[in-house]
Structure 1
Amino acid sequence: MIPIPEEQKVPLASVYMQAKAELWFQGHLEKSGMPSWSELTIIILRRFEDLDYERVVYEFNMLRQETTVHEYLIRFEELESHMLIFNKNLDETFFMMKFISGLKEEIKGYVATMNPTTLDQTIVLARRQENIVNALLRKINQQQKNNQSKAPFKPQNKSLPYKTSFKPSFKPRDEASQPRRFLTEAEVRARKEKNLCYKCDEPYSPGHRCRIRQVHMMLSEEEAKAYEELKIR
């Protein structure tokens, strides 16, 4: 590309102006004279794109990533070009720091810790972190879907294999309602010699059960005498 001298840029650009643009430029020459190239670019943008310095600066400072890094970058580069029209002294470091500050929190921290030195490096790091975050979110969403698809555990109500109507026929009686019988030592010895049950008058053998159950109490000789005296009274 052949470089064009600065003083020839405006006359050369005016050659390509047609219709309303040509009439507008002729009117501007009569009012203000021949502008410089930088002045012409600002004048044209203000006239045909409604470009205002204060509005551009405000939008540039308020720019934040709301969707993807790609969409954020498109708007950033558009405002970057407008900022350079008004101030050519803005360097790459200024735009790099502004680009980082407008990124989402989950991307901004990673990019800042990597200490990029150019805007291109910053853009690459931002896209890389965005891919990592998106992959992690997809994994979390898939795990949540898998957990929701699993039926909750419900313990089965296992009934008894059979029901029994068995009721014990033996009903223990109150000890106070059972008849009591007192045995003296002599009666105990006599029953032992005859191999009789201490509780009933039937012969005793292993496994013996009394047909009529009674409560017996063994008395010593002194207790037996006292018991006999009470019976006499």
Structure 2
Amino acid sequence: MEFPLFNGEEARTWIRRCNRYFQIIPIPEEQKVPLASVYMQGREFQSHLEKRGMPSWSKLILIILKMFEDLDYERVVSEFNMLRQETTVHEYLIKFEELESHMLIFNKNLDETFIMMKFISGLKEEIKGYVATMNPTNLDQAIVLARRQENMVNALLRKTNQQQKSNQNKISFRPQNKNLPYKPSFKPSFKPREESTQPRRFLKKAEVRARKEKNLCYKCDEPYSPGHRCRFRQVHMLMTEE
């Protein structure tokens, strides 16, 4: 892992990378500034070190921010208090650590519990409540809990989206053109009754009497019995002789 190079631009980013380097590779406090000065370009800064000597790492950070950034205590405090998570926990943590390092420049004795509570208060609502109820005792625990809850929320959102897409695929819609008739997707199981093609018959009184004596149907020539169903559904007219 190489030490980051500073060319006078993005001072805050460079300081954050240096602090991460020192976290991964332990460097004695008195060797941090000599190491960092090797990777700092620009005669302005080098001349400053020649005149005033090697400061401590915390003072060096303050010098760099004043030289290359418009660092103001009130502005740093305002940004730190107004910081809120807008995207992921990871991106929020990067910005939080950057502002935290600036706060520590002005106040080295900043309470760790205060920093942890500020981190929790800036989280999204669906993450903040869970982290607070777990009662973390330090910032590292709060970060772990925040990432865990973020993963759970994202998994739940993915599952919900999949269910919604599945339900949408099952829904059938009517034609968008209102002028078109709606055609059901099912077919009726019954068949329409066929109309009789037999001509209408007019029975005279004698024919009615004869059919009654022979126990025949008035409509067809088949024997009549209770429950008889005639093959021909016709309208018959009985005619009487005067």
Q: Does 1:21 align with 2:45?
A: yes
Q: Rate the CA distance shift 1:128–1:209 in 2: closer, same or farther, 3 A.
A: closer
Report the 3-state secondary structure (helix = DSSP H, G, I; strand = E; otherwise coil) of the residue aligned with 1:82: helix
Matched with 2:141 is 121
Q: Distance in 2 between matches of 1:24 and 1:2?
A: 23
Q: CA RMSD in A?
A: 4.3
Q: Deviations over 1:38-71 (max 9, x none)?
A: 6664343212222111111111111111111000
Q: Rate the CA distance shift 1:78–1:208 in 2: closer, same or farther, 3 A.
A: closer
Q: Distance in 2 between matches of 1:60 and 1:106?
A: 21
Q: Distance in 1 between matches of 2:146 and 2:201?
A: 87
Matched with 1:106 is 126
Matched with 1:164 is 194
Q: Deviations over 1:125-151 (max 9, x none)?
A: 000000000000110111112122235
Q: Does 1:52 align with 2:77?
A: no
Q: Does 1:79 align with 2:99?
A: yes
Q: Rate the CA distance shift 1:80–1:206 in 2: closer, same or farther, 3 A.
A: same
Report the 3-state secondary structure (helix = DSSP H, G, I; strand = E; otherwise coil) of the residue aligned with 1:51: coil
Q: Deviations over 1:83-128 (max 9, x none)?
A: 0001112111011000000000110000000000100000000000
Q: Rate the CA distance shift 1:22–1:64 in 2: closer, same or farther, 3 A.
A: same
Q: Distance in 1 between matches of 2:213 and 2:65?
A: 127
Q: Distance in 2 between matches of 1:212 and 1:118?
A: 105
* TM-score, normalised via structure 1 length: 0.60
Q: Partner letter of residue 84 of structure 2?
A: R
Matched with 2:224 is none
Q: Rate the CA distance shift 1:132–1:208 in 2: closer, same or farther, 3 A.
A: closer
Q: Rate the CA distance shift 1:207–1:155 in 2: closer, same or farther, 3 A.
A: same
Q: Distance in 1 between matches of 2:140 and 2:46?
A: 39
Q: Rate the CA distance shift 1:57–1:113 in 2: closer, same or farther, 3 A.
A: same
Q: Does 1:146 align with 2:166?
A: yes
Q: Specify the structure having the higher radius of gyration (Cα).
A: 1
Q: Does 1:207 align with 2:231?
A: no
Offset at 1:156? Answer: 1.5
Residue 153 (structure 2) aligned to one of 120, 127, 133: 133
Q: Distance in 2 between matches of 1:9 and 1:131?
A: 37
- State the identity as a percent: 60
